[in-house]
Amino acid sequence: MNQQQFENFTASSLYCDKCKTAMPVRERLLLVLPDREIFDYLCTECGSSVGRREVTTGEKMLAQAMSGRRQRRSAVLR
């Protein structure tokens, strides 16, 4: 999986193993660490965790500082 793309991806529905189909999800703040926040995506039907997203503090600040401009701390392999 391409981590960079996944971080930009705002999920509204994801495939759920239990429901056997793509289901609407809700985002839940799972964990706050000194340098990142981890969000859990839960199926709205059965409550299963169907995905996870990490947002680093650096990325959040970067996104706020230059909204719309695509720039990353880490180099992207070509």
**Smallest distance, Zn ion to C-beta of residue 51, A:** 12
Q: Which of 11, 14, 19, 38 binds Zn ion (CB under 5 A)?
A: 19
Q: Which stretch binds Zn ion (CB under 5 A): 4-12, 28-36, 39-47, 53-61?
A: 39-47
d(CA 21, CA 78): 34
Q: Which of 6, 12, 15, 18 binds Zn ion (CB under 5 A)?
A: 18
Q: Which of 16, 25, 42, 59 binds Zn ion (CB under 5 A)?
A: 16
